Amino acid sequence: MDQLFPQGLPFMKMHGAGNDFVVIDSRGRGPVVTPVLARAVGDRNRGVGFDQLAEIHDAEGADFALDFWNSDGSRAGACGNATRCVSDFMMRQLGRDDVRLVTQRGHLAAIRLPDGRVSVNMGQPQRDWREVPLSMAVDTAHLPLPGDPVAVGMGNPHCVFFVPDAEAVDVTAEGRRFETDPLFPERTNVEFASLVGPDRLRMRVWERGAGITLACGSGACATAVAAAERGLTGRHVTLDLDGGVLEIDWRADGVWMAGPVAHVFDGVLSPAFLRALA
């Protein structure tokens, strides 16, 4: 890898509501991210550190494409907050207030709102057990697990628990336990939410492949969908996460997720760092 990048490999550091990302722009040259690279860069002591790594690619019929990796080196089919952050960067580069992109989920649209937040259409929620995916035919609205959680796919799997007080949950212990429950053959992200006002939820999250994060965009979408289906809220919901506020609007054309974006710094992975990966 160091031979491919004798000057090092440039990256951007971004976050959306504290959900943080390393972004590598591979447009014009092809993919470079491997599980080994993702794990090494994701190490908060010996690398850069991130919740997810996003790699930008050229795309046919869209402005760009995105691939996502977790800090344990696994792939994620969706990452709402990284999608919003990279969309903001691309909108600035293209001089526009909207972009179209492609992820494993298909074609998505993102727009900049007048207040500077970025909103992305994460697509329709996946409500069939095969799509989440689950390992057997069960009702996704009431999983046969303690706590009666809801399974929702947003291009990645989510297991949403409604609890009286999200603050009181041991997110690490409970998150670990359900992430690897056999009902989820590809593991799952785990959300704990409580109703704190009309159409307002407090949510804490344990992410598959990354652990506790300050926010999870697809998790906020999944939680809002589950809350609306259970009749706890309407389809326009505000979520208070550890790192900030996300606003979900489940419309006829998909689940829109709006929130803050930040481009923190640009850096270069040194040739020596890349050499050590070989």
Nearest to ligand API of 2, 67 (CB atom): 67
Tokens of 145: 């697990």
Nearest to ligand API of 15, 274 (CB atom): 15
Tokens of 257: 């997720």
Residue 187 annotated as part of some ligand binding site: no
- Its sign, for the CA torsion 234, 157, 88, 12, is positive
Residue 80 annotated as part of some ligand binding site: yes
Nearest to ligand API of 186, 199 (CB atom): 186
Number of C-beta neighbours around residue 6 at 10 A: 8
Whether 159 is catalytic is no
Smallest separation, CB 209 to ligand API (Å): 5
Smallest separation, CB 241 to ligand API (Å): 10
Catalytic residue (choose from 79, 85, 159, 221): 79
Residue 167 annotated as part of some ligand binding site: no
> What does the binding site for ligand API look like in residue numbers (CB under 6 A)?
19, 51-52, 70, 76, 78-81, 156, 189, 207-210, 213, 216-218
Task: Find all residues with CB under 8 Å of 158, minimum gap 6, and list them.
Answer: 132, 151, 152, 188, 189, 190, 191, 218, 219, 222, 223
Residue 19 annotated as part of some ligand binding site: yes
Whether 79 is catalytic is yes
Phi-psi region of 124 (alpha: psi -120 to 50; beta: other; left: phi over 0): beta
Nearest to ligand API of 166, 216 (CB atom): 216
Task: Specify binding-site residues for substrate.
Answer: 19, 52, 70, 80-81, 156, 189, 207-208, 217-218
User: Which are the catalytic amino acids?
Assistant: 79, 216
